[in-house]
Amino acid sequence: MAEMVRAAHPGEVAILDGIGGVASGFDLILCDVWGVLHDGVHAHRGASDALTRFRALPGERPRRVVLVSNAPRPGAGVLTQLDGFGVPRTAYDTIVTSGDLTRRLLAERAAAPVYHLGPDRDLPIFDGLDLVRGGPDDAAHVVVTGLLDDEVETAEDYRDRLTPWAARGVTMICANPDLVVERGERLIPCAGALAALYEEMGGAVVYAGKPHVPVYEAALAAAEALDGGTPLPRERVLAVGDAIRTDVAGARAFGVASLLVARGIHAEELGVAAGAPIGDIAHWLEAQTVHPDAVIDLLRW
């Protein structure tokens, strides 16, 4: 098994068969959910097993796993979803989501009318918040959680709807910075695609979630709180995810090591979509703005 070290160049990125040989070098794993623990249809059992084994490792302090998700709903909703997929709670300690951070942003802007753009399944993001809900024509802020019908729509379908907001200077709060997410063998557009289009149109966007530092700060604080607030050095933290733009870039900005799961949203680009082994990925990595410290096809022990 290749040893995982901080990779200075794409050609130095380790290819791992599993994390068992490197796990003892970390006290905390910040783990993505969609694309690592499940693909939106089925759970990846090996990933849950690997995280459960990591948490059981002996050490000077307990090994922790914080799930860090760009889900546009509170962590409690993600927990319920994971239970439905059969992901055991032994695989993680707690959950921090972009939905949680969005709620904080909304609470800070509670006096101004807010409009929700997204499917009804994301409405729990507003539960318990004392907000002024406005219509599309009088809102000061728009919270985007996703496309109304992500099975058939694209971001471009929303250009006419976004145009008046951009002209009026309405701030968009993006509750899920992901551009796409896996759903079985398909890639489905997310709120991040709408936010990217809005920015192209001159609109102002505030992002909650990865790759932005606040969600990592919240996740680290949650892990430290589990151990009485004892500080956890960032060199003892590993971020795991399947997206260069969010998981890897976010880990790099936060100053922690990262492990890219290849058989996620980049599977086709990396040539592993049909189960092929990881080959020479240096050329692909060189074309990216950031690169991970190691790559694995699927998270396993």
Segment 284-294 mean pLDDT: 94
What's the angle, vertex CA 99, arms to CA 204 and CA 210, rounded to 5? Answer: 65
**Nearest by Cα to 251 from 26, 3, 78, 94:** 26
Q: Which two tokens stand for residue 201?
A: 């149109």
- Kindly report the number of other CB atoms within 10 A of residue 54's CB atom: 24
191 pLDDT higher than 60: yes
pTM as predicted: 0.91
pLDDT band at 8 (very low <50, low <70, confident <90, very high): low
**What confidence score (pLDDT) does residue 219 get?**
98
With a cut of 70, say whether residue 7 has pLDDT above it: no
If you count them, how many residues does the chain have?
301
Q: How far apart are CA 299 and CA 196, in angstroms?
A: 29
Residue 259: its pLDDT value, please? 98
pLDDT confidence bin for 1, thresholds 50/70/90: very low
Residue 5's pLDDT band, with cuts at 50, 70 and 90, is low
Pairing between β-strand 186-189 and β-strand 180-183 as defined by DSSP bridges: antiparallel
When pLDDT is cut at 50, 70 and 90, the band that residue 290 belongs to is: very high
Q: Is the preceding peptide bond at 136 cis, omega within 30 degrees of 0? A: no
Q: Which two tokens stand for residue 261?
A: 């799961």
Residue-wise pLDDT for 77-117, tens only, equals 999 999 999 999 999 999 999 999 999 999 999 889 999 99
